[in-house]
Amino acid sequence: MSATVSLSKSEKSYIRTALGELSPIRADGRSLLDYRSIALETGVASLANGSARVNIGKTAGEESGSGTEVIAAVKLEVEGVLEGEGVDGGRLMCTVSCSPAAYPHLSSAALDDLSYDMTIILNQCLSHPSLHPKNLVIIPKRRSWLLTLDVIVLSDSGNVYDALFLAARSALCDTKVPKTRSVQYQPKSNALGEQDVEMSAEAPASIFSTKEVKSTADFELADYWDEGEPLDINQEWPVCVTLNLLSAKSLPTYFLDATSQEEAAIPLRLLLLFSFSPSGTRLQSMRLMGDGEIQLESMTQLLESGENHARKLFQALKNKLQEEDFRRNQKALARFDLR
């Protein structure tokens, strides 16, 4: 993983010394465990099934052009299981593309590598079977939804992984899977092979009866209005917390939400992805990135504090998503009534 900005040795040492002080100093005046302000909006892409835009670190008063900005959108496509690449039960695919505008000094090959690395991290975590949504099936063993999650990094001023997963989680929570109904064509018994067929719509075929499955030929969208059900997974979609490790010897010290300068100065990062559901806290992914090493004993403490930070972030995001949902549904309806 290449650093996104290049700094001189003295600049790096300046940042590192300031962070390592007894009372640490950061360029923007935050304490080690402070996040920059996070802005989030869902439903930004009207043609997508679910979408979200996240900005970390936009300074108040400025319209745009500062902070880390990421857009995520979910598109659902119908896929045949028998023909093509589809699998029974549906698939989830994530792609990250980094805009050249976000990384102006990277060559196009380096940019591709960076996008690929981010894609792998997102894909390995989110398309793991433990997070697979159950309602991506249209007709068992025949048709399923292919869920593609595309994330675009519009600008990067540090902490891009947290932003990626915030946007991914918001877009996935925002996603509505269209309701479908299985449809069957039955030729009339006396006129076998004739053109006139009778159409009967039935409830989604049960998985237990193979006879029903075979007879279902196609499906139709159940609703005229563009609505559907949210994705149905056993757990919650995870949130990411990046711990930037200052020293990982016996007493680990770290800071959160690094700017790109700080990222260049402190090479070692620990990515932790947690998912919080009523059944308990689950670690969904963990990854050490960068040049450096840590002691296993310090991992206990890092995991513990990472979990605390992730829980706060998760709760804040949950509240914000509810607020967004309210804004887009109830408020919009109320405004519609006023007219």
Interface with other proteins (CB under 8 A): 1, 82-83, 113, 116-117, 120, 124-125, 128-131, 185, 193, 195, 197, 235, 270, 275, 280-296, 299-300, 303-304, 307
Q: Which two tokens stand for residue 326?
A: 């309210």
CA–CA separation, 279 and 318 (whole Å): 17
Nearer to other proteins, 185 or 326 (CB): 185
For residue 237, the minimal CB distance to other proteins (Å) is 12
Nearer to other proteins, 301 or 329 (CB): 301
> Three-state DSSP class for 248?
coil
CA–CA separation, 54 and 239 (whole Å): 13
For residue 336, the minimal CB distance to other proteins (Å) is 41
For residue 52, the minimal CB distance to other proteins (Å) is 23
Torsion of CA 326, 327, 328, 332, to 10 degrees: 110
- Our CA angle for 314, 319, 320, nearest 5°, is 95
Residue 309 phi, psi dihedral angles, 5° rounding: -65, -40
Q: Which two tokens stand for residue 299?
A: 């991992």
For residue 284, the minimal CB distance to other proteins (Å) is 6
Residues whose CB falls within 8 Å of the CB of residue 256, separated by 6 or more in sequence, listed in order: 32, 33, 34, 35, 241, 242, 243, 244, 309
Nearer to other proteins, 21 or 83 (CB): 83
For residue 310, the minimal CB distance to other proteins (Å) is 10
Nearer to other proteins, 31 or 130 (CB): 130
For residue 76, the minimal CB distance to other proteins (Å) is 23
Nearer to other proteins, 8 or 23 (CB): 8
> Three-state DSSP class for 176?
strand
Nearer to other proteins, 128 or 327 (CB): 128
